[in-house]
Chain A
Amino acid sequence: MADHSKRTMTLNLTDGEMRVLEQLSAQKDLSKTAVIRQAIRLYQLVDARLTRGEKLFFEDDKKAKSELMVL
């Protein structure tokens, strides 16, 4: 599991997706590649926990919780 060699791929994004990627890249002080890699890791983490039957919630400042459904 510790093979961290990297492979290259071409990613086709819409203008809107690229705009969001650039915004996140600027906000998080990360390269666009790093943002995509973060997204993949979080998606895998969330998916694994949902598959185990766990639920994902967001809580607002009034402590109201809403469940996030992930496809």
Chain B
Amino acid sequence: MRIPVGIIDVSTGEPVQAELFDDVTIEDFLETQRDWRPVVLEAAQQLTRAGGRQAIVPRHFHWDWTRKEGDLRMLVNRFYGIRREDILQGLAKFMTAGQVCRLSGQAGKPLVYVDYLEVAPWNIKPLMGALGKPHRFAGVGTRLIEIAVRLSVEEGFKGRLGLHSLPTSEPFYINTCAMTPVGPDATKQNLLWCEFTPGQADGFLRR
């Protein structure tokens, strides 16, 4: 699948067309290691040196997508990427089994679990701010959450979605996406478990 999706060019404030694809390969993982990771590390070092703003130091600086090569062969996993100007702008791994809803009223029901979602570092405003540069595209993370919700609908899960949020991403999931913060998960480094009900997912898609 390759379909056009809209993201925002921050330099002009105008929407531009990017490509959403699901035939993710090891080449895409290697691209994140080659092009993304050095920028994330440099920004993390700048933020750490600056001190006093530890809360915004990215916690995903150690992520290594190439370790997920074996996951590409498992039916339970679905990978999606977004490209613009032939450059990878965002990458996500969703799971369609193995996790269930925890929110009262839908506990135990199946959902799409957002296992990993990463946006290219040049699209993350605080990171680029640490490097004294403007960020490039906005809306990449939102487009990836949107495809996760659409996958949930397609799978018969009615838009139910769940994820463990890194502390630096909580404002995005709670405020931007309007997911429900259910609570910290002691079995997952106390990361905040967030969830979409079918109604919330429908509202998200209609925005």
Residues of A within 8 A of B (CB): 1-2, 4, 27-31, 34, 37-38, 40-42, 44-45, 48
Q: Would A30 and B110 count as touching, CB distance under 8 A? A: yes
Measured between C-beta atoms, what is the minimum distance from A32 to chain B in Å? Answer: 10
Q: Would A42 and B76 count as touching, CB distance under 8 A? A: yes
Which residues of B90-117 are within 8 A (CB) of A?
Answer: 96-98, 108-110
Q: Would B158 and A2 count as touching, CB distance under 8 A? A: no
Q: Would B74 and A38 count as touching, CB distance under 8 A? A: no
Chain A residues contacting B108 (CB-CB under 8 Å) are 27-28
- Contact status of A42 and B98, CB under 8 A, knowing A2-B24, A28-B110, A30-B156: yes
Q: Would A45 and B76 count as touching, CB distance under 8 A? A: yes
Please, how many angstroms separate the alpha-carbon atoms of A45 and B70 in the complex? Answer: 11
Further contacts, 14 of them, CB under 8 A, given A1-B73, A45-B74 = A2-B1, A27-B108, A28-B109, A28-B110, A29-B110, A30-B157, A37-B155, A38-B96, A38-B110, A42-B98, A44-B74, A45-B75, A45-B98, A48-B74
Instruction: List 25 A-B residue pairs with CB atoms under 8 Å apart, sorted by A's residue number.
Output: A2-B1, A2-B21, A2-B22, A2-B23, A2-B24, A4-B22, A27-B108, A29-B158, A30-B156, A30-B157, A31-B156, A34-B110, A37-B155, A38-B96, A38-B97, A41-B76, A42-B76, A42-B97, A42-B98, A44-B74, A44-B75, A45-B75, A45-B76, A48-B70, A48-B74
Chain A residues contacting B130 (CB-CB under 8 Å) are none
